[in-house]
Amino acid sequence: MNATILCYHKVGPGAEEGRRLNIEPDRLRTHVEFFARRKRAIVRACDLSDRWQPGTICFTFDDAYHSTMVHAPEIFEQIGVRASFYAVPGKVGGTSDWDGDLARPLANWDLLQQAHSRGHEIGNHSMQHLKMADIDGVKQRDEISIAHEAMEAHGISPKSFCFPYGSLNDSAIEQLKQCQYPIGLALGKAIAKDTDNRLKLPRVVVAYSDALPMLIYKITLKPLLKRRR
């Protein structure tokens, strides 16, 4: 059984957010509607610890940008499904300063709690958005567990973890296991299989220019072509 886990970042008007890691709200809506109309199972990442339905789709959003939390939850709710948003507790309400000059505002706790109370998943994206492969095991553990506690202090109990930059190593996976997370998300441009390690499930990154036909190509034809190589 496969699950297609899509990775988005910002959701907002191009005039405000530019093209980098952003998608227009209307375009996101066409993506969600496409799968909903085909009766595909649209689940949150935390739901991937259960049995997968054929053709499962999961929409994930890294960093919990202010723009994303303003525009995206409503789109999913209007279609009757939910999504997963990954917050960086050490930066909530601030900016994505790891992006340097391209830093953008991140949602505050209030916006995160609102989405959480409406059934969306707010997951753990580490305390400070560091590359896990660049830090030692003790620091990796802190990045996961201190973030977890900070989220719990705000009434959100995260059930999945998303590796910043998709950066990970064996030690990071072990720390995640020790922290009792059932689901970890990486990158990897591949469709997840239910035989994959659930602590490093691959995701497909969706870009600004990915209109529906390109998205379909990315998640259907391209992985097949890749496998043949």
What residue ranges bind Zn ion (CB under 5 A)?
62-63, 164
If the CB atoms of residues 52 and 86 are measured against Zn ion, the closer one turns out to be: 86
Residue 62 CB, nearest approach to Zn ion (Å): 4
Residue 96 CB, nearest approach to Zn ion (Å): 8
Residue 165 CB, nearest approach to Zn ion (Å): 7
If the CB atoms of residues 3 and 7 are measured against Zn ion, the closer one turns out to be: 7
Residue 129 CB, nearest approach to Zn ion (Å): 6
Residue 164 CB, nearest approach to Zn ion (Å): 5
* Amino acid type, 29: R
Task: List alpha helices for the chain, DSSP H.
Answer: 14-17, 25-37, 66-79, 109-117, 137-153, 170-178, 212-216, 222-228
Containing H/E element for 43? strand 42-43
Q: Say if CB 64 and CB 11 are below 8 A apart.
A: no
Q: Say if CB 200 and CB 184 are below 8 A apart.
A: yes
Q: Say if CB 117 and CB 157 are below 8 A apart.
A: no
* Cα–Cα nearest to 1, from 33, 43, 37, 34: 43
Residue 187 CB, nearest approach to Zn ion (Å): 10
Q: Say if CB 17 and CB 104 are below 8 A apart.
A: yes
If the CB atoms of residues 131 and 154 are measured against Zn ion, the closer one turns out to be: 131
Residue 25 CB, nearest approach to Zn ion (Å): 20
If the CB atoms of residues 73 and 123 are measured against Zn ion, the closer one turns out to be: 123
- What is the token pair recorded at 214? 């390109």
Do the strands 22-23 and 192-193 form a parallel or antiparallel pair, or are they unpaired?
unpaired
If the CB atoms of residues 43 and 130 are measured against Zn ion, the closer one turns out to be: 130
- What is the token pair recorded at 113? 């709690």
In the bound complex, which residue of the shown chain has the CB atom lying closest to Zn ion? 62
If the CB atoms of residues 3 and 88 are measured against Zn ion, the closer one turns out to be: 88
Place of tokens 């809506």: 29
If the CB atoms of residues 47 and 63 are measured against Zn ion, the closer one turns out to be: 63
Distance of CA 211 to the CA centre of its chain: 19
